[in-house]
Amino acid sequence: MGKPTGFIEYSRELAQDRFADERALDYLEFHLTLSDDRLTSQAARCMSCGLPFCHTGALISGMASGCPLNNLIPEWNHLVYNGLWKEALHRLSKTNNFPEFTARVCPAPCEGSCTLALREAPVTIKQIEYAIIERGFEEGWILPTPPPVRIGKRVAVVGSGPAGLACADQLNNAGHWVTVFERADRIGGLLMYGIPNMKLDKRVVERRVDLMAAEGVVFVPNTEVGVDLAASQLLAEFDAVVLCGGATRPRDLRIEGRELAGIHLAVDFLSADTRSMLDDDGIGDWVSARHKDVIVIGGGDTGTDCVATAIRHGCNSVAQFEILPELPLRRLPSNPWPEWPRILKVDYGQEEALVAFGKDPREYCVQTKRFVGDSQGRVREAHTVRVEVGRDDRGGMKFTEIRGSEQRWPAQLVLLAMGFLGPEEGLLNQLGVERDGRSNVKAPYDKFTTNVPGVFAAGDMRRGQSLVVWAIREGRSAAREVDRYLMGTTALA
C-alpha cells in the first residue's frame, strides 16, 4: 500500500459538483474533480487489503458486490499515491476498455464492498478512476494502437452500446476485422441516446469511437440488422456474429387513459432530447416539458434522468413516483457488507428539484391507477393511490391499496420510466435464436453461444437490463469466446 496509515489520517473527500441552480441551466457535465495532491491523499486511504473485495465482481443477493470488471483497484491506487499516473493508466486499462464511461455513470459497487466501508467511508475509487483516464487523454498517452497483424477473420457486432463496443475493441485488438452495426444515426447505443449529456458528455463517447475507428473497427450507423440488412446476409458475409442489441423493449403502463397525448416512454423522451441537443435544431420528435406539470413514473436512474431533463426544459413542477417504500439511511442487518448498500441516496436530479421547487420529487408507495384527459385528448391529471408493500405466500411482492389515500396530480406530461422487459424480437426471430424464460437470448455465461452456430450474444440482450459496467464485462467475455471459436484458442482476458 502507498501509505499504511493513510486510511487513518485522511477522511473521504469528494469533488464538489457544480451548483444545482447553475448546472440545471445547461447540459454540461456536472461533476468536477480534485487537485492532484488531494487525489493522492484519497489514494492513500486504500488499505491494499490482503483479500480485497472491491474488485471481486460477485453477485450477492442478486446485486453486484465489487467491480464486475475485476479492476485492479489497490494496484492503481498505490501507483497514483506514488505519482505514477501513466503506470496507473496501464493497470486500469488491462481490465476496463472504457474507464471514461464507468467513471461517469457507474454506481460504483466497488465502493460498496470496500473493506474500509466496514467502519468508515469507502475509498473514492470512482473519482480516482476518472482522474486516471482523463489524465491519460490530456497527456496524450492514449493513442490509436491498431493490431500489428490481421488474422483475416471477419466478425459482425450488432449494437454499439457498451457491450458491443467492448466486444469489438477486444476482437479488433486480437487482429480480427470487426464491423459494428447500429440502427441509430450515431454510434454509442445507450451511451449516446440513453444517458443525458450532463451525466456523460457525448464528446466523450465520440472520442472513444474515433479512437476505435482509427484502430480499424468499422462502424455502420443507420443500419438496422433484420430490416435494412437481412440476417441471412450477415451470416453469409461474416465468420461470427455477436448480438449486443440490448434490452430495449420498455415496460409500459396499460391503465385507463394511457392513449392520451402527452404520455411518453422515458427512453423516447430522453433520446429525442439528446438528438435535438446534438443536432441543435429543437425540432422533430422532441418533447418539451416547458411550463408543464411533469409526472415521472419510476424511481430508478432513468426516472432521475427524466426529472433532471424536465427541469432543464423549464417545467412548472415535477413529481417522481416509486411504488416501493423509501430506503433506509443506513444499512439494515439484512443488508450486510460487502453486499451492495441498499440505502437512500439523493441523486443529481433530486438535488436539482430540491433547489428548483424546495422538495425532493420522489413520492413512495404510489400506484398510478388512471390518467384523465382534457377536451383535446391530452393528459390533464394522474390519479393515484398509496399502497402497503408486503409479501405473498410465494415470497413475491404484494401491494395492498390503502383506503382513503387516493390523490389527483396535475400532469400535462407523463414519462414512463419503469425499466425494460427484454430484447426486441424481430432480428432474433429471423435468426431463429432461442430465448430463456425472461425472453432474453439464451446463451450460457461461460460460452455466450446461442443455438445458432457462429452466433453469440452479450450484454443486456443476454442478461437483461443491467449496469454499463456489466455490459462491458459481457462484451469482453463474449469476445474471448468468439476468438476461441475462430482460432481454437485465445489470449484475450
Among 3.40.50.300, 3.90.650.10, 3.50.50.60, 1.10.8.10, what is the CATH number of 154-248+421-487? 3.50.50.60
The dihedrals phi and psi of 241, each to the nearest 5 degrees, come to: -130, 135
Instruction: Say whether 252-418 and 154-248+421-487 share the same fold.
Output: yes
For residue 295, give the nearest of 374, 379, 352 by alpha carbon.
Answer: 379
Distance of alpha carbon 157 from alpha carbon 165, whole angstroms: 8
Longest dimension (CA), the chain: 71
Report the run of H or E that residue 364 belongs to, with start and end.
strand 362-364
Angstrom CA distances, 473 to 71, 417, 459, 468, stand at 11, 25, 8, 9
HEC string of 220-278 equals ECCCCECCCECHHHHHHHCCEEEECCCCCEECCCCCECCCCECEEEHHHHHHHHHHHHH
Write down the CATH number for the domain with range 252-418.
Answer: 3.50.50.60
The answer to whether the CB of 380 falls within 8 A of the CB of 256 is: no
The total of other beta-carbon atoms located within 10 Å of residue 210's CB is: 13
Q: Report domain extents, the chain.
A: 6-138, 154-248+421-487, 252-418
State residue 283's pLDDT score.
54
Angstrom CA distances, 359 to 76, 319, 330, stand at 40, 10, 21
Distance of alpha carbon 97 from alpha carbon 208, whole angstroms: 10
3-state SS class at 307: helix
Strands 293-297 and 317-322: parallel
List per-residue pLDDT tens for the chain, 493 residues long. Answer: 778 899 999 999 999 999 999 999 999 999 999 999 999 999 999 988 888 899 898 889 888 899 999 999 999 999 999 999 999 999 999 999 999 999 999 999 999 999 999 989 999 999 999 999 999 999 999 999 999 999 999 999 999 999 999 999 999 999 999 999 999 999 999 999 999 999 999 999 999 999 999 999 999 999 999 999 999 999 999 999 999 999 999 999 999 999 999 999 999 999 999 999 998 755 556 899 999 999 999 999 999 999 999 999 999 999 999 999 999 999 999 999 999 999 999 999 999 999 999 999 999 999 999 999 999 999 999 999 999 999 988 888 999 999 999 999 999 999 999 999 999 999 999 999 999 999 999 999 999 999 999 999 999 999 999 999 999 999 999 999 999 999 999 999 8
Write down the CATH number for the domain with range 6-138.
Answer: 1.10.1060.10
Distance of alpha carbon 66 from alpha carbon 340, whole angstroms: 8
Report the run of H or E that residue 38 belongs to, with start and end.
helix 36-44
The answer to whether the CB of 97 falls within 8 A of the CB of 476 is: yes
Angstrom CA distances, 19 to 25, 200, 245, 344, 354, stand at 11, 17, 36, 21, 12
Strands 240-243 and 413-416: unpaired
Report the run of H or E that residue 156 belongs to, with start and end.
strand 154-158
Determine the residue type at 375: S
**Partner residues linked to 414 by β-bridges:** 263, 295
State residue 489's pLDDT score.
97
The dihedrals phi and psi of 128, each to the nearest 5 degrees, come to: -70, -40
Q: What is the pLDDT of residues 37-91, one digit of tens each?
A: 999 999 999 988 888 899 898 889 888 899 999 999 999 999 999 999 999 999 9
3-state percent helix, strand, coil for the chain, nearest multiple of 5: 35, 20, 45
